[in-house]
Each structure stands twice: as C-alpha cells, then as structure tokens.
A and B are shown apart, each in its own frame.
Chain A
C-alpha cells in the first residue's frame, strides 16, 4: 500500500497563529483527502484535493480557515488559519490507494492550540 508521511507529527501553537501540515506520498495519487479527528471523536472529512483543481470542501469547512494546496500528484498541504483552542485535533491525510483499491491514512498531526 501507499506510504504517507505527515509533518509535523505534533505541535503546540498559540491562538491566532497558523500551522501548515504537509502530506507526502511515495507514489502518484489522484485523490487526496484531509480529515479532522477531534479529541476522542470519529473522523470528519474536511476537503478533497485533486491536483490541478481547487479543493472541494465539506459542509462546515471553508477555504479561508483551511486553505489547501495540491501542487503535484505526491504532495499536499493543509493550513489551519487563525487558530483557536477549538481547532485542537488530529489532522489526517488520506489517499486513494489504487494498489489495493482502498484508502490509506497517514499517522496524523496532533495539534494543540493554547
């Protein structure tokens, strides 16, 4: 299956600042996804990022708060902007893995906003 590297693995940030999370895949993939997992909760899709087009955001998530870049078929970034304590979550990158026709997740970025 595809191998996903996410950076940073964790961070503690001040409110009002922004953090950019990187997702690197070891193979070319068409579809990349960003999920949020609030403490003790399930996973919620933030947006779908396809190379060469604008990201598609799910209800409740907006581009100004979570801008996404997808410059090529192996890389994407998610920025959490103007952070508040409510943004404290695990942010996960996922890809459609055509090798086994499933979806692989990275290990996540554990964000704490103070």
Chain B
C-alpha cells in the first residue's frame, strides 16, 4: 500500500523567511496530493492541493510542487508570519478511492 514520508518533523524560521516541507510517496498510482494545516485543538484544514497532471500550483504565499518521476512533492510558504505556526500534514491518495494516507506531520514555528 501507499506510504508517505514527511520531513522535517520540526521547523523553526524567523518571521518573513521561507519554509519548505518535503514529502515522498511510494505508490505511483497516487494522483492527488493535499496539504493540511492543523492548529491546536482544531481539525485539519486544507490549504492547497495538487493533482498529478500539474507540476506546480500557487496560492498567494503558498505553493506546492510535484515531481512524479521522483515521487515527491513539497510545500513552500514564503514571507512566513507567526499565524503560520501550526502542524502541517501532507497526504497522498488515488482520487477515486478517497483514502488519504498522511505523512507524519511537521511542526512549524515562526518566530516574530
């Protein structure tokens, strides 16, 4: 079955710097890759996603890149702000199954 590895487990940056979180997946049949942000005491919130027919997607300060050959995808956050501090999860799935396989999570701390 699918396996998703996520790195780093913790990431601390200064406000205004960029943050990059990387994930690798094992199942070449996976074609949908969402990223979720989870704040303390809340459920995961989808922040951006990408499908396998696209190599990059951007939404304001957030971007995701996908390398299907290498089976890895990355989240890029530019101009980080303290409110970006949270746990971020990547996931992979085959879109017709709906089953999301999550990475281990990255705790991002943005220092003011």
Contact = CB atoms under 8 A, between A and B. Distances in A.
Given A42-B89, A42-B103, A103-B34, A108 B43 contact: yes
| Chain B interface category by residue count | 10 to 19
B43 A107 contact: yes
A47 to B, nearest CB: 10
Given A102-B34, A103-B34, A42 B102 contact: yes
A44 B101 CA distance: 7
Where chain A touches its partner, the secondary structure class is strand
Nearest to B34: A102
A42 B98 contact: no
A45 B99 contact: yes
Q: Which 4 A-B pairs have the closest CB atoms?
A: A105-B43, A107-B43, A42-B102, A43-B102
